Structure 1
C-alpha cells in the first residue's frame, strides 16, 4: 500500500472510531472509554491530555479525524440513536454488543502485554463483579427522578467526562436511573443551547482533571489497570444484553445487527493491521 492510500485508510479508520466512541458515550451501558481502549486510541488520547508538548507532534494526524468523528457520533448520531431506541432498544443494544465482542480479543491481548499476575486477575474479578452489581442496582433497583436543569445537565457532562477517562464507566445508565437520559438525548439531538452550554464544559473539565491521575495509575500498574478494564468491558456488556423481544423478527434483526457490529469491528482491526504492516515495509 502506497503512502497516500495508507494515510487515507488511516484517516477513515480514525474518523469511524471517533464516531463510534462518541455514539458509545450516549448509548446506555456502553462506555466511550472502553471503545477508545478496544480501538487502540485510549493511550494516545491520554498522552495528548497529560503531555501535550510531546504527544501532539506525535499524534496530530489522528486528532483531526478523531475529533470530527467524535462530534459526528456524539452530536449527530444522538438523534439517530434516539429514533433507533424508540423503534427497538434490543436491536440498538445488540449492534454495540457486536462491536464490543469483535474487539474483545485484541483487548485481551493488550491486557496481557506485561503479564497476567494474581493481582491482575484479582483486579479483573473485582472490577467485573463491582461494575455488574452497581449497574444492576442502578438500572433495576433505584428509581430516583430529578427535574432537569442547567446544573443537572452539567452533572451529566461530568459523568460523560468520567466515561471517557475511566474505561468501563457507563454514565448513561446513571442518567437513566435519575430520569435525565431522555431529556439530555433530545436536547443534544436538537442542539439545545442550555444542554450544550452545561454538558460540554462539564465533560471537558472532568476529562482535564482526571487525565493525569488515571495516566499515572496505568504507568505504575499497567497489568492491574488493563485487567480491570477487561472486567469493566465484560460486566457492562452483560448488563445491557436484552432479555425481552417483541417477536421473532426483532430477535432475527438483533442477530443481524450484532453480526454487522462484529464485522465493523473486524474491519477496523484489519485496517490497524495493514497500518502496522505498512510501517514495517
Structure 2
C-alpha cells in the first residue's frame, strides 16, 4: 500500500513538472511574459539556476528531475504555440486574462518562497519599488522601441541569447524585445516550420546565455537570497500588469463576453492556486 502511494506521488510529481514546463515554455513565447518569472512562481527557478551553475553536482539526479520540465517546455513552445497564437490573434482579451489569473494565483507561493530565509520591511519596499520601476520601463519600451535587424546566423545567435535572458532574469520579456527588433514573427514562423537554419543558432545562443550567466545569478542568491527574490517578485508583478489587454481590445465586447473574461480569470486563478498547493505537496529536495 505504501509503495502504491509512493508510486502515485511520483507520477503526480512528474506530471506536475510536465505541466509547469508547458506553462514556462508557452510563457517564453508570449509577448509580455517571462519564462524565468513563471519558473520562479512554479518553484523551479532556483533549482534550475543552481544546477546550471554547477552541472557536475548530482548530474544524473538533476537531469532526471528536470527531464519532465524540459519535455513540457518543448510541448509549450511547439504544441501550444499554435492555439496560443490563434487565441492571441482572435481572442486576446480572453487568453491574456486567463493567463494573468494563473500567474496571480501563483503569487502567494512566490511570496512564501521569497521570505523563506527571512523578510524585513525593506524587502517589501524593494518589491514595491521594483514593480513600479519595471512597469514604467516596460510601458516606455513598448511605446518607443522599434528597430529593424538583418536576419542572419549571428542575428539568430543574438536572438537566442535574448530569448534565454528571459529565463536567466525573471520578469524580463524577451519576446517584447524580439518584437521591437522585428524578429519575433520570423522566429515563431521558424518554430512552426522547424526551420533549423533559425532553430540551431537560436538554440546555441540560448545555451551560451544560460551557461554564461547562471553562475553569476547563483552567487547573487547565495549572498542576498531575500533581496534577489523580492526583486523577482516585483518584476513578476510588473510584467503581469503590463500584459493586461489595452482598452481598444474591449471594443465590441458585450455582457456575456465580460462574464466569460471574469470566468476565465477565476479559472486561471484557481489553477494557479492549485499548482501552488501542489508545489508545496510535491516539493522535492534535489541537492
TM-score of the two chains, using structure 2 as the length reference: 0.89
Indicate which of 25, 38, 41 corresponds to 2:41: 38
- Change in Cα spacing, 1:117 to 1:250, as seen in structure 2 (3 Å) is same
- Distance in 1 separating the partners of 2:276 and 2:214: 26
Segments of structure 1 that go 5 or more residues without pairing to the other structure are none
Q: CA RMSD in A?
A: 2.1
- Distance in 1 separating the partners of 2:240 and 2:130: 13
- The Cα shift of 1:127 comes to 2.4
- Distance in 1 separating the partners of 2:79 and 2:33: 18
In structure 1, the residue matched to 2:267 is 260
In structure 1, the residue matched to 2:235 is 232
| Alignment deviations for residues 25-57 of structure 1 (CA, whole Å, 9 cap, x no partner) | 000111111111111111111121112232435
- Change in Cα spacing, 1:267 to 1:126, as seen in structure 2 (3 Å) is closer
- Distance in 2 separating the partners of 1:200 and 1:28: 19
Indicate which of 258, 268, 279 corresponds to 1:272: 279
In structure 2, the residue matched to 1:51 is 54
In structure 2, the residue matched to 1:209 is 212
- Change in Cα spacing, 1:161 to 1:240, as seen in structure 2 (3 Å) is same
In structure 2, the residue matched to 1:66 is 69
In structure 1, the residue matched to 2:81 is 78
- Distance in 1 separating the partners of 2:216 and 2:225: 13
- Change in Cα spacing, 1:189 to 1:258, as seen in structure 2 (3 Å) is farther
- Change in Cα spacing, 1:57 to 1:199, as seen in structure 2 (3 Å) is closer
In structure 2, the residue matched to 1:123 is 126
2:191 corresponds to 1:188: yes
- Change in Cα spacing, 1:253 to 1:270, as seen in structure 2 (3 Å) is same
- The Cα shift of 1:119 comes to 4.4
- Change in Cα spacing, 1:7 to 1:180, as seen in structure 2 (3 Å) is same
CA contact (8 A) 2:106 2:275 kept: no
CA contact (8 A) 2:54 2:215 kept: no
- Distance in 2 separating the partners of 1:121 and 1:273: 23
CA contact (8 A) 1:22 1:72 kept: yes
- Change in Cα spacing, 1:129 to 1:273, as seen in structure 2 (3 Å) is closer
- The Cα shift of 1:100 comes to 0.7
In structure 1, the residue matched to 2:154 is 151
- The Cα shift of 1:198 comes to 2.1
2:135 corresponds to 1:132: yes
TM-score of the two chains, using structure 1 as the length reference: 0.91
Segments of structure 2 that go 5 or more residues without pairing to the other structure are none
- The Cα shift of 1:124 comes to 1.9
CA contact (8 A) 1:47 1:55 kept: no
- Distance in 2 separating the partners of 1:142 and 1:50: 33
Q: How many residues align?
A: 278
| Alignment deviations for residues 184-243 of structure 1 (CA, whole Å, 9 cap, x no partner) | 112212212222122111111100000000010011011110110011011111111113
